[in-house]
Every structure is written in structure tokens, then in C-alpha cells.
Amino acid sequence: MMNNKILITGGAGFLGGHLADSLLTTGNDVVLIDNLNSETTPASEKEKTLLYLKKISINNNSSLTFYKTDIRDNNQIEKIIDNEKPSIVIHTAALAMDRASMTKSLEFIDVNIKGTQVLINAIEKSDHIKQVIFISTRSAVGETPKPDSLMSENEHFRPINPYGATKAACESLFHSFSFNRKIPVKICRMQPIYGPRCRHDMFVWRILNSIITGKKIQKYGKGNAIRDWLFISDAVDAIMKIIESKIGFEILNIGTGKCVSTNQLIELCTKVAGKPPNIENVEAVAGDAVYAGIADCKKIKNLIGWEAKIDLEEGLQKTYNFMLENSKS
């Protein structure tokens, strides 16, 4: 995939930044929108990502344009899309901390749902956008009854926190848009992602940072909570293939299809680093899924031939090496 102009909302964040890296490297021009907040990643880290991406763009003769803008700013979003005329939009911008959404529900509704509709309104006024990629989450579906239960794309929305509920609402808004405008929208239901430049609220980052710094971190509940951890390069590879595909409106799970408990994750991080984190055991909190579901990825494999390649121990080693090296700089 080359010679496209692609707009990424939340483009200085973890997934957005890695997507921009891949797109610039493959000869595409990239437009980033980000308000540089520090909800899941410090603004200073996002600024480093922008500097890194600028070097990537220069090395690959690609164009990189950045706008520090809030996704809810209707006038600014319209102007950017009208001036830049991207052919593809990737919408990653959102408030994303599920636990925090339990006490900040109105803020999550305002940013995630209103921001998404503002973007859709701007896209509807353009005539050059050929497809939209929406980064959703397994949290839109909620929990599963058993630790090894597969979560398919046909599950009903039963989110257990406002964050998941806002993503479910956004999926519905995009379906309405796609149905009426006949523009392909590809909804990517992501499992938890980890890797270099990881979000600081993700448990992988918190465990490895505790090992490196000695700082105490909290483990919620008994450690039997299940997650399907997806390495960042696999996530990017899936989305790149989805962009290249000729499919119309689709909802696609993106994960490994393998379940790992909190205790198993801590054990693997300890093995990779050679020492344990500083763990404090606390009670589970409201809005935090226990059995978060294992991604049923048959659909994406059948449609576009994608499946995850990086196993958890290898991904943790890559993440730990990156964090250790950057802690010294």
C-alpha cells in the first residue's frame, strides 16, 4: 500500500504512532490529529513519538503533518479534512481507561461519542474519503461466562463500564454512516495491545516498569482475570491488511485467540526480566472485566488471511528490552 494520504486521529498515541510509522515507511503521506493529553501516555512521550515519526517521514520521502486539535472541535476537524483531503481515515482517538470511565462517564461520552460524530459529520461533507477504519475494543462486548470463552463478532453489546458503552455507541454510529453513505467502514475490535511505547496504564507496562524501577503496583483481585494480549506489530499488520482489503462494512476481531491470566502474565514478565515486580494485592474494582473474552479470529483469517505471529513471551522480551534501554536514556 503506497501513495495514499491517510489521516489518523489520536495519531501521537500508542497504536496511532505505530500505524503512522508503518504507513510512512511504506510510502504514504500521513496527517495526524492529537490533543497531546496524558490520559494513558504522558504528553512528553507523545512529543518524542512525533519527533521520531518526522525522521521516518524524511528517511522515506513521505509527508507528515501534525495538528494539535481536539476531536470535538467541529470547525477544526472540518477544516483539516477539507484542506488535507485524505483518502483514508483511521479513528483511534478516545479516552480509553475503562476503570476511570466509572467515575468520569460524562467526559467519556463527550469525548468518545461526540468526537466520533464530529468526525463523521466532517467526513460526510467531503467527497474524497474512500474508507474509514475505526479502532474499537472487546470492551464494547463486555465479559464472557468462562475464562476460555471465545468472543465472536456476533456477540450482543453488554459492556460493563462506560468506556465499553461509548465504543459500542461509536460502532453503531459508524454503521449508520456506512449504511447511508455507502463508504466502507472497517471496525477493528482490538484485544489489549502491548509493546514498545506501550500505554502506561496497561498492565504489561506497569509490571515491567515496576521491575525496572522497583515501584509498587497494584494487582486487582486474585489474579485469575483473563486477557488476550496482542503485540503491537501484529496489531499494526492486521490493520494494514484490513486497509488493503476490498471488504465493505465489517466488524473484525483482532487478537491472538489465547488466554493468559494476570498471575501467568506476572510470571512471564518475571521470567523475561529475571526478577519479580513489586506487587501489592488489592480487591477487584468495579468496571474491571474478569473474563474479558478470547478473540475468535476465524473471520479475519478467512477474509484477509491474517493471524497473530508474536507469542507472548517473545513480545514481552521485546517490550522489556525497549523499556530497559529507554530507562537509561
Contact 251, 187 (CB under 8 A): yes
Q: Is the pLDDT of residue 328 over 90?
A: no
pTM: 0.97
SS3 of 245, please?
Answer: coil
pLDDT of residue 3: 86
Q: Is the pLDDT of residue 292 over 80?
A: yes
Helices and strands: H and E segment counts in the chain: 12, 15
Residue 44: CB atoms within 10 A of its CB come to: 10
Chain mean pLDDT for the chain: 97
231: enclosing H helix or E strand = strand 230-231
Instruction: Please report, to the nearest 10 degrees, the dihedral formed by the alpha carbons of residues 123, 184, 294, 212 taken in order.
Output: -40
- Per the DSSP assignment, residues forming a β-bridge with 250 are 186
Q: Is the pLDDT of residue 1 over 70?
A: no
pLDDT (tens digit, 9 = 90+) per residue, 86-96? 999 999 999 99
Range 190-205 average pLDDT: 98
pLDDT of residue 98: 94
pLDDT (tens digit, 9 = 90+) per residue, 212-230? 999 999 999 999 999 999 9
Tell me whether residue 299 is exposed, middle or buried, using C-beta atoms within 10 angstroms of its C-beta: 0 to 12, 13 to 18, 19 or more: middle
